[in-house]
Amino acid sequence: RVFTLPDSADATILTSTTATGKILQVVTAETTTEITNTTTTFVSTGLSASITPSSASSKILITTSQTFKTKGTAASSGRRCHVRLRRGDHLGTDLQKTTLHGTGTASASVAPTHHTLISFIYLDSPNTTSSTTYTIAMAKEDTNASVTAQEGGSARNSVITLFEVAA
């Protein structure tokens, strides 16, 4: 085939049958199971999904939306906690991370709490055609803190979606 374009043309010609950026597959997982962590060890929030890329050059676009509650004790306002998007299980490779900082002052009778919605959006290059799992993990930092995902159970739906993108 021969294409003749005028000198003033500004165009891109697709020379492959696989269009870069095309969504090849989508995997979604949801959870409403309430999980609380009172330790400094990372645990799964119950939100994870796996995808098997069709090509090692594919990218995986990960989007998540998850509710969290951090809580201190009545005598302490410290309630800093960490949330991670990881490739693998709850101890896997960090892809993105954030820290939850509760605000407010504790009193002798009221434990301070902070509710928040956290979303991650990340484009990963796993370079594999093997099944790849993505997990959200959480841990507390402050001694008197705890962190809960999906507090309230069925009233708090959390979602992870994985998109395989042709590269």
Q: What is the pLDDT of residues 47-79, one digit of tens each?
A: 999 999 999 999 999 999 999 988 876 555 567
Surface-to-core class of residue 23, CB atoms within 10 Å of its CB (0-12 exposed, 13-18 middle, 19+ buried): exposed
Q: Looking at per-residue confidence, does 122 or 72 come out higher?
A: 122
Sign of the C-alpha dihedral, residues 44, 26, 65, 21? positive
Neighbours of 43 (CB within 10 A): 17
DSSP assignment of 52-110: --SSTT-EEEEEEEEEEEEE--TT-----EEEEEEESSTTSEEEEEEEE---S---SS-
Element (H, E) at 149: strand 146-149
Quote the pLDDT of residue 164: 97
pTM above 0.85, yes or no: no
pLDDT, mean over the chain:
84
Quote the pLDDT of residue 76: 56
Q: Over the stretch 98-109, which tens digit does the pLDDT of each residue have?
A: 988 765 555 555
